[in-house]
Structure 1
């Protein structure tokens, strides 16, 4: 049997969540991939099922930052072409390895500011960009005083969390005390190495619609791959959205969001690779909630490719390996004419799943392109409440030629969603 050995390798740090797509992409281009990950991320129940060991020729799971030295030693004799962060918990480790191996990378001095939501906004303020009022402390009285100063709802969260983990909206001192008690001393399991949350980040609550923007950068050239506006029934709790609609390029709204995001990327030293931005459109204009220097999670890239072929995934090889080609592609880009909606599924029922879910209730609808559903026969269906740890049962993508198609079929999606839950629970 013939064997191909190539010195050229791609190092993927945390090939989990959406990062699991990176290795197959580069393998298909003829590269060999090496996986590096922190133990806390590798064993996390959300991330661990997404890892595919067959995508890599070598894999290293690090128990501490000291393990980075050993990884660098093992790279001797190989030609590392790029180091890419695959998921949120491994961003700092990817930055460190990029420095140690001399790879094209984001600004080294701002690495921590791209993970710490406190330093992130401190940096924006120093750069003259719209940022949120905030406080980082371990003292409950400090947060009471901050709440009095703001004069309304505030947001409490870990300094470097993700996926709305440990995020609380607070209107009263009782709610504040409860949230602080939950955050302080809890494990920061989404951080690069498992630590304990020693402080609480308090922020002013920002009213206004929330937007999600996904970008790709190469040597400081930024491209907005897709932008979404989230719609929610109320804003009493974080991430209770019904759906997110694609924001069409060329509109004044899109230009406003894109201009602000580009300036934020520059301010935070994002120069290479993907980034996922969450913003609020306030009375003063766009304001950052947070950014992660990695691809967006829970994405069906085939749907995004149908909408507009320049996705975070399809642009990644040129962004990391050939800036000239990257710039040529984004300059030749033409705006998509498609309409799209990402629908967040939500159950108001609970019970044991006694039948396999009939997903044809969704897929038979014309504009529904793909469905991700997390439950099967034998599982437990909970009423969706992310604050209680009961996440969404799934999501789906809708794509159409005009907005009327999406609106028409959306009503059918919601109707069929209720039928789905009812039939799943029937003996």
Structure 2
């Protein structure tokens, strides 16, 4: 994305603010940009291990979250309730290649943000930001990791959703987003809205077109294409309220421990859940699920869409009970007591 920004600048094409390129990639610089813009932000410190950790922890109240400076998908993110956990998480990730293929030469220690998580997706033109879609997110704590269980489209903008969208748009300005897609994750904490991260891209590696077009009439990628090929039609969208036709949800199928898939007896039940649209990335028998806490769909994805948001929410609850009871995928080695994750937000 940095290369794309530099190339767009050199060609005289629309692009983001050059001076804030680092703030759109480096999470420490991102939070510094928010502070410079007068926005509240999570306290964030870069460390390289050893004495750095001890010194940094003097600035925090536990729990904290440890994460790579630049990665995605929950890769390397660990919630730490003790100082020894922080040191272990930092040392485990330093020197490793993260999900983006970048070697972790530094790690971040950051305030742990507790509260309802939201996703706000946008498409911008000339620094004006159009809200594409807004989702609430269920995140559970499994051991020291935050595990994303699902996102559920917001169909009516209540006070909390409106507040988070307003805060997100200010964050986009703070990090210099001006053109094209952005995918932003925020949390509504007891102290108010806080940014997790801004990503200058569409949400995820792919967007299931029929799911999005049924619920919204477009995908975020559709809006990006329109912004550049038919900007007049895109600008006209600012006059229309955010009004989805239906609710949709994306669930990251879950197993409690790494292992090999022996059978998947719960999938037939999932296929009967009201509002199920489709499933994908389902692991084959004999496949290994190495990092079940990652939101990359290693155990599969389930998509839902229906005009009634409560119906979709009820199906998600039934799905998660099935997963938590260890009945979706049977794994080897077996989990004697699957245990239920501690629900933290969403």
Q: TM-score range by the shorter chain?
A: 0.7 to 0.9
- Matching residue of 1:325: 233
- Matching residue of 2:340: none
The reply to whether residue 344 of structure 1 matches residue 252 of structure 2 is yes
Report the Cα offset of residue 185 of structure 1.
2.3
- Report matched runs for 1:159-170 at 5 Å: 159-170=69-80
Contact (CA 8 Å) 1:219, 1:323: kept in 2 or not? no
Contact (CA 8 Å) 1:347, 1:392: kept in 2 or not? no
1:349/1:217 CA distance change after superposition, 3 Å? same
Contact (CA 8 Å) 1:272, 1:320: kept in 2 or not? no
Moved more, 331-340 or 409-418: 409-418
- Matching residue of 2:176: 269
The reply to whether residue 405 of structure 1 matches residue 315 of structure 2 is no
Report the Cα offset of residue 238 of structure 1.
3.9
Contact (CA 8 Å) 1:276, 1:291: kept in 2 or not? yes
- Matching residue of 1:209: 116
1:357/1:98 CA distance change after superposition, 3 Å? farther
State the distance in 1 between where 2:287 and 2:154 align: 36
State the distance in 1 between where 2:296 and 2:245 align: 36
State the distance in 2 between where 1:351 and 1:233 align: 20
1:366/1:207 CA distance change after superposition, 3 Å? closer
The reply to whether residue 301 of structure 1 matches residue 209 of structure 2 is yes
**Any idea what SS the aligned residue of 1:386 has?**
coil
Deviations 1:274-302 (A, max 9, x none): 11111111122211111110010153232
Moved more, 276-285 or 133-142: 133-142
- Matching residue of 1:142: 52
Counterpart selection for 1:316 from 214, 220, 224: 224
1:282/1:105 CA distance change after superposition, 3 Å? same
**Any idea what SS the aligned residue of 2:14 has?**
coil
Based on CA coordinates, which of the two structures has the bigger radius of gyration? 1
Moved more, 303-312 or 407-416: 407-416
**Any idea what SS the aligned residue of 1:296 has?**
coil
1:390/1:400 CA distance change after superposition, 3 Å? closer
Contact (CA 8 Å) 1:362, 1:371: kept in 2 or not? no
Higher helix share: 1
The reply to whether residue 251 of structure 1 matches residue 158 of structure 2 is yes
Report the Cα offset of residue 234 of structure 1.
3.7
Contact (CA 8 Å) 1:115, 1:160: kept in 2 or not? yes
Contact (CA 8 Å) 2:73, 2:296: kept in 1 or not? no
Moved more, 275-284 or 180-189: 180-189
State the distance in 2 between where 1:163 and 1:218 align: 27
The reply to whether residue 291 of structure 1 matches residue 198 of structure 2 is yes
Uncovered stretches (5+) of structure 1, i.e. residues with no partner: 1-90
1:270/1:153 CA distance change after superposition, 3 Å? same
Contact (CA 8 Å) 1:352, 1:379: kept in 2 or not? yes
The reply to whether residue 155 of structure 1 matches residue 155 of structure 2 is no
TM-score (norm 1): 0.69
Contact (CA 8 Å) 1:104, 1:320: kept in 2 or not? no
Which of 1 and 2 has higher RCO (CA within 8 Å, sep 6+)? 2
The reply to whether residue 396 of structure 1 matches residue 302 of structure 2 is yes
Uncovered stretches (5+) of structure 2, i.e. residues with no partner: 334-346
- Alpha-carbon RMSD across the aligned residues, in angstroms, is 3.0
1:422/1:167 CA distance change after superposition, 3 Å? closer
Report the Cα offset of residue 189 of structure 1.
5.8
State the distance in 1 between where 2:188 and 2:96 align: 31
Report the Cα offset of residue 99 of structure 1.
2.0
Contact (CA 8 Å) 2:264, 2:330: kept in 1 or not? no
Contact (CA 8 Å) 1:232, 1:240: kept in 2 or not? yes
The reply to whether residue 200 of structure 1 matches residue 107 of structure 2 is yes
TM-score (norm 2): 0.84
- Matching residue of 1:114: 24
Aligned length: 330
- Matching residue of 1:64: none
Counterpart selection for 1:281 from 175, 180, 188: 188
